[in-house]
Amino acid sequence: MPLAHILPLDGTAVLFIILSFIILISILNHKQTNKKFPPGPRPLPLVGNVFILDRKRPFKTLMELKEKYGSVFSIQLGLRKMVVLTGYETVKEALVLKADQFAERPDIPIFKKITKGNGIIFGHGDSWKTIRKFTLTVLRNLGMGKQNIEEKIIKESEHLVKQFEAKNGHPFLTTIPINAAASNIIVSLIMGERLEYEDENFIKLLVLINESFRLAGGPYIQLYNMFPMLHHLPGPHHKVLEHQNILKDFFRKIFIQHREVLDENDKRSYIDAFMSKMDEEKNDPYSHFHEMNLLCSVTNLFVAGTETSSSTLCWALFILIKHPNIQMRIHEEIDRVIGGSTPRAQHRQLMPFTDAVIHEIQRFADILPMDLPHETTSDVILRGYCIPKGTYVIPLLRSVHRDTNHWEKPDQFYPQHFLDEQGKFVKREAFMPFSAGRRICIGESLARMELFLFFTSLVQTFSFHAPEGVNGEDIDLSPVGGLTLVPPNIQVRALVRSRNT
């Protein structure tokens, strides 16, 4: 006879039984953890260590915990145990020396809802490997890292400079024009053409991306990822999903346009190349080249290609305002090396100070302090600890970029980190703004070229200042929390300089 017939249960009793079961599982999970599993703070039943985290800047809590537990430690959020890797040597050992064992991406509820495991960033297994390899090949064929993409960036720099000139020295927010410029480079690869800054749909997408990044890194989405059963309740996760649907609808319309004129002998964009591959494998039921993978890959490229480069450039302008002596030295180097000519990638090796400043901006701004999470593909031993297959792993890039063993002044903006005694540029191994290993940013070479050319074009043309009445050196550059760390919403004055000829 069913238990319910013997002992009727109301809703409260059922809820109590479910919660008791979850708590029991949590306790057993804690007791059964391998003794060689990395140490960490003792979790509470059901919620884990959520209450000890700085909800707006969780990386700060993790930086504090590494001082107590060492370079490899664990935390628990909800019922999920996570391993945190800190310091350059540890992160390198995991992501580079044991790359295959740390190459997966865990299921994160909000992103699983968006991608269903497809695409480049949150893809899994063979699908991810196939699409990533294909994407790298196509982007290189389209010119990523080569002279023709350099010409696109130079042309886009001219558009961006005109946007700044149109402000006539009045204070303005730099976010949208810089977003648009950075986005247009990846858009030209994805679609084969750029979009106009006045295009309302384009600007709308950029605004939605900015808001999505802010919401996705916020406390509520963190809670949602711990307890995805919250999906049916009101909350900002619905706004994030709505934004993504708008972005997907935009690209679906683009797909229709490309399909109508697709020429197998003239593939001018990533979309063309992917559609051609879809046609080639249309009779293969196991093919990874299907519309959902195309949609997710294109949106991944669009969002990632917009957000990180543009945020870094925004940081750059604010840092120059706060450090006018550094801005002056860059002006001097640009005037000496480039003069009134067009900045080009080949100038980089002749401009060690400017190059050092750009690298230091990336290190100091630390756009993605917790990296995107990884997952182990097999049981692995790291620093004497056993990390089981399927473990959620956080490579704490903040700890790499603040590692006192590798940086003389880790908490200060100090371009000399990348200069030797003779003032020549030097590479630093503890520099991972694009992550490392199998999941390293697919557009690293493109982003490096963008940053140099956009930055030098802007600083060649303008001197940057705070609004009148504000002392630039007193500006608080505390980042705004989100999925990435973006600079505060500060207005900038761009005053045209007289160019050398």
pLDDT for 320: 97
pLDDT for 9: 44
| Counts for the chain of helices (H) and strands (E), in that order | 17, 8
Amino acid at 19: L
pLDDT for 145: 78
Instruction: Look at residue 223 and tell me whether its pLDDT is greater than 80.
Output: yes
385-387 and 80-85 beta bridge pairing: unpaired
For the segment 14-20, the average pLDDT, to the nearest whole number, is: 52
pTM: 0.91
pLDDT for 141: 93
For the segment 280-287, the average pLDDT, to the nearest whole number, is: 94
Instruction: Look at residue 10 and tell me whether its pLDDT is greater than 60.
Output: no
pLDDT for 101: 98
For the segment 47-57, the average pLDDT, to the nearest whole number, is: 91
Instruction: Look at residue 456 and tell me whether its pLDDT is greater than 80.
Output: yes
pLDDT for 5: 40
pLDDT for 12: 54
Confidence of residue 449 (pLDDT cuts 50, 70, 90): very high
Strands (E), 18-152: 72-77, 80-85
Instruction: Look at residue 253 and tell me whether its pLDDT is greater than 90.
Output: yes
pLDDT for 259: 92
DSSP 382: E
Confidence of residue 501 (pLDDT cuts 50, 70, 90): very low
DSSP 479: P
Confidence of residue 22 (pLDDT cuts 50, 70, 90): low
CATH homologous superfamily, domain 35-496: Cytochrome P450 (1.10.630.10)
Confidence of residue 4 (pLDDT cuts 50, 70, 90): very low
pLDDT for 454: 98
3-12, 367-376, 473-482, range with the lowest pLDDT:
3-12
Residues 6+ apart with CB under 8 A from 491: 171, 172, 173, 466, 467
Percentage, residues of the chain above pLDDT 70:
92
Residue range 124-181, pLDDT digits in tens: 999 999 999 999 999 999 988 788 899 999 999 999 999 999 999 999 999 999 999 9
Instruction: Look at residue 24 and tell me whether its pLDDT is greater than 60.
Output: no
Confidence of residue 267 (pLDDT cuts 50, 70, 90): confident
Residue range 73-123, pLDDT digits in tens: 999 999 999 999 999 999 999 999 999 999 999 999 999 999 999 999 999
Instruction: Look at residue 33 and tell me whether its pLDDT is greater than 90.
Output: no
For the segment 474-482, the average pLDDT, to the nearest whole number, is: 82
Strands (E), 169-327: none
pLDDT for 8: 44
Q: Which residues pair with 464 in a beta bridge?
A: 494
Q: Is 230 exposed, middle or buried (0-12, 13-18, 19+ CB in 10 A)?
A: middle
Domain range list for the chain: 35-496
More confident residue, 498 or 155: 155
pLDDT for 108: 94
For the segment 369-379, the average pLDDT, to the nearest whole number, is: 97
Confidence of residue 300 (pLDDT cuts 50, 70, 90): very high
Confidence of residue 284 (pLDDT cuts 50, 70, 90): very high
Residue range 209-219, pLDDT digits in tens: 989 988 888 88
Q: How far apart are CA 151 and CA 344, in angstroms?
A: 9
Residues 6+ apart with CB under 8 A from 478: 488
